[in-house]
Every structure is written in structure tokens, then in C-alpha cells.
Chains A and B, each alone.
Chain A
Amino acid sequence: MALGDQGGHGFGHVRRGLAIGARTASLQGPTAAVIPVVFAFVVVNLGATLVVAKRATSGVSGRPRLRRAEVIVMAMAWVAVFVVMGVLAGAGVSRAIVYGLYPTTVPFIVAGLAWAGIMAARANRRSCGTGLAVAVVGALGAFAGPAGAWAVAGLGLFVVFVGNAAAIAWRQRTTGAR
């Protein structure tokens, strides 16, 4: 009985500790140790994507996928997003917003809308829909809080890009080509 009570207290402490830890993380944003891990993951991911894309498109040539104006629009959108992020950090906005909520919401909203606009101008409905879906993921993350926004971004982007790949594969199956 006494042992059971102690066990119950022990679990209670653990639960409280986890709850406080989660609350602290969501209030303060990611720790300094987490940021290099995320950064390294992004770099590895980008490197792997470039290697695979290069191998897949070896020997393929043709017109560029994006026009110069479109590249400039996308680049300016990305740069602006991170300039504003730096300004917010410099202005003393809480770490939870600058490093927790902002990176997983605003870039997706801005880049998603920019991409959707470019693709709408090209009358490419599927790619326009993908851009809008990315923007929606960013917007949903804004309602999930600093910690939840990362989960929403991870799961949301996974669903969007797997859905996009499935749509391409489905179109290729039904049309017999491309």
C-alpha cells in the first residue's frame, strides 16, 4: 500500500515534470542545442535532394523550369521572410515566437502563396494547389502554438508532398504518359 502510494507519487512527479518541461519548451522556443540539429537535418536533406535530382535529370536538357522574374519573386519572398525574422529577434520578441512559431508558419505562408501566384499565372492548377496547401499548413501551424507548429508543419508538408506525388503518379497512370 505504502509502496503503491510512493509509486503513484513518483509517476505524479514525472507527469508534472514532463508537463512543466513541455510548457517551458513551448514558452521559450527550441534550445540552442536543438537549432544545430535542425540546421544539420535541413542541410543533409537539401544535399540529398540535390544529388537525387541531379542523377534523375542527368542528360535531360530543355527550357528552364522557372523564368528569371519568377526566380526573383521566390528569392525575394524567402529573403524577406528571414530579414523580418532577424528584425523580430533584434527587437526582443520572445524566442517562442521568433524561433518556435515564426520559422514553421510565416515562410510556408509567404513561399506557398508566392508559388501559388506564379503557378496561377502559368495556369498550372496542380502546382497552384500545392502552393496554396503549403500556405494553409503554415496558417494552421499558427494556431498550434510554438511547439505544435513544428508538428503541424512536419505532418502537413508530408501530407501535401506525398499527396502531390500521388496526384502526379495517378495522372501518369490514367493518361499513359507524363
Chain B
Amino acid sequence: MTDDVLDPLIHVPARLRIVATLAALEDGDTLAFTRLQDMIGLTPGNLIIHLRKLEEADYLSSEKTGNGAASSTTVALTSCGRAALDAYTHALRDLLGGL
């Protein structure tokens, strides 16, 4: 039942934290990968895996700039990702509304 109502892609705790963190940004803003890693507390490899899954679903976009040691990656929630989080939170509220 939970899987039918709650988006399984967002429902995973680590990805929920990523999406919720990125949702706090204003439209058009991006967050550095290193800052996101600091905030979420995941290893780089683990974070990359979760980000890739979200990007494949078009929930977030990433951009890499520079080369080598000077390179940096930024990520941001897409409008699709923001809508998915809205739907997820509404579904969760409805689900818990009776408690």
C-alpha cells in the first residue's frame, strides 16, 4: 500500500534528505556537491549513486564545471522533482492524518 501512495524513489531516507535539502533552494539556485555531502553526511560514492537515481528520474539536474582538481559539481532540484516532493509530502500527510 505504501509503495502505491508514496513515491518509492523519494521514500528512501537518504534520497528523501537529498530532495528535501535541495527543495530549500530558490528556483535557479544550485548546491555544490561537497556542501550537500557535508549536510547529508554520506560518503561521496554513496551520494553519487543516490544522485544518479534521482537524475535518471529527472528529479534533479547536475552540472560539472572545470577540470581536474579545480572541477566542481553542482546539483539542483528540477520542477519535476519539486512536484514529486510536493506529491510525496501531501500523500504522507494524508496517510498520517488519522493519527
Contact = CB atoms under 8 A, between A and B. Distances in A.
Contacts, number: 43
Interface residues of A, number: 10
Interface in B1-50: 20, 23-26, 28-32, 34-36, 38
B60 interface: no
Interface of B is mostly: helix
Interface in A138-178: 175-178
Contact of B23 (A59, A63, A178): A178
B interface, size bucket: 20 to 34
A58 B35 contact: yes
A84 B52 CA distance: 57
Contacts of A63: 28-29
A-side binding surface: helix, strand, loop or mixed? loop
Given A62-B28, A176-B86, 11 more contacts: A59-B31, A59-B32, A59-B36, A60-B30, A61-B30, A61-B32, A62-B25, A177-B20, A177-B24, A177-B89, A178-B26
Interface of B: 20, 23-26, 28-32, 34-36, 38, 74, 82, 85-86, 88-90
Interface of A: 58-63, 175-178
